[in-house]
Amino acid sequence: MNNALPEAGEHPTISVVIPYYNSGAFIEGALEQLSQQTFRDFEVVIVDDGSSADEAALAREAAARWHAIYLRQSNAGPGAARNRGARMAKGTWIAFLDVDDTWEPSKLAEQIAAGADQDLVLCDTQTVAKSGTLRHRHFWSSYIGTDVFSAAILRGDVYSFTSAIFVRTELFFALGGFDERLRYLEDHHFLYRAVKVLRWTCLGKALSSRIVHEESMSHISRNLDVDAHVERRKLFLDVLSEFEPELDKKDHLLREMHRNIKRSIVMRRPQKALELALRAVALKPARLKNYGFLIAIIISLASPSEFDHWNPDLAQIAKTADKPRALPCP
């Protein structure tokens, strides 16, 4: 390992932007893997989004060792950090790498080759356990057509794709970049607008991987507040409706409520599930599925594990929390 990234020159083809927040455990690995990319004409811009002093020092030192650009800003969220990095970018293309994600060595080479007549090049992704075991393969390339893909984004069926985004720099800015009002779902907001406006394609190879670990902002154990899920989705829909005025915000918010009623039932929180179910009924009284969830809540009171198959990972967390703790020895 020579602790150096490629010599990009004054006008690199690609700028790789890495948002960083208290991620010292991952930054060295992120930079090392980038040094293995087969396409060599790129620069790396690390944007520290208000990390603690110790964590900032780790990123700054790693950037110096690897000859990457390091920027620091007050905490403003991942979208703002990516935008800051993009404003500093000299590349014709921008790729975004979340610090704890990994890329195949051929990722940039394959995306630049596919981009001759495209504005946005995505790729399939996968979710991998820390042990290296494959958890999920995400076939974004199977969504044929803009309407199909954008509908999947609205349903919340598309995720773990941010490190797959490869977009022409001038068009990233023409779209306004990531909306900084959104600290969550800002990537969904950008991708929805991008596939609606830009020429795009998706490579049918899993060239980007998300590693499941407890420190991840998206890890299930850090996202147990169902009210927060609903409020984030509501804000996302409110902001997106500025771009898509005909958007049926109620229908998409209802889907998020249903998703979180399921979460609440699996987490053995029937009171919260009931609260959300009643909000769902008030939002769209004619939707029969609302009443099905009310029945499911009643069933869960008698049989708490009846619906664990809805979310096995959450069910495991709930079972662990339910275990009686041994009394300390006197």
* Residue 34: closest CA among 71, 80, 67, 79: 67
Residue whose token pair is 């609606």: 196
Relative orientation angle of helices 186-197 and 146-155, to the nearest 10 degrees: 170
Domains delineated in the chain: 14-212 (3.90.550.10), 224-321 (no CATH)
pLDDT tens-digit profile of 227-244? 999 999 999 999 999 999
Instruction: Single out the residue of 214, 5, 221 nearest to residue 108, CA to CA.
Output: 5
SS (H, E, C) the chain: CCCCCCCCCCCCCEEEEEEECCCHHHHHHHHHHHCCCCCCCEEEEEEEECCCHHHHHHHHHHHHHHCCEEEEECCCCHHHHHHHHHHHCCCCEEEECCCCEEECCCHHHHHHHHCCCCCEEEEEEEEEECCCCEEEEECHHHCCCHHHHHHHHHHCCCCCCHHHCEEEHHHHHHCCCCCCCCCCCHHHHHHHHHHHHCCEEEEEEEEEEEEECCCCCCCHHHCCCHHHHHHHHHHHHHHHCCCCCCCCHHHHHHHHHHHHHHHHHHCCCHHHHHHHHHHHHHHCCCCHHHHHHHHHHHHHHHCCCCCHHHCHHHHHHHHHHHCCCCCCCC
Q: How far apart are alpha carbons 207 and 204 in whole angstroms?
A: 9
Per-residue pLDDT tens digits for 256-268 = 999 999 999 999 9
Residue 14 phi/psi, 5-degree rounding, is -130, 140
Exposed, middle or buried by CB within 10 Å (0-12, 13-18, 19+), for 152?
middle
* Strand 42-49, strand 14-20: pairing: parallel
d(CA 18, CA 101): 10
How many angstroms separate the CA atoms of 322 and 220, rounded?
17
Residues 6+ apart with CB under 8 A from 270: 264, 297, 300, 301
pLDDT of 329 reads 36
- What confidence score (pLDDT) does residue 249 get? 96
Place of tokens 């800003």: 73
* pLDDT of res. 262: 97
Q: Which residues of the chain are modeled with pLDDT < 50? A: 1, 218-219, 324-330
pLDDT value at residue 22 = 96
Please report the pLDDT score of residue 320 as a whole number: 81
Structure tokens at 194: 């991008």
Q: Which residues pair with 134 in a beta bridge?
A: 128
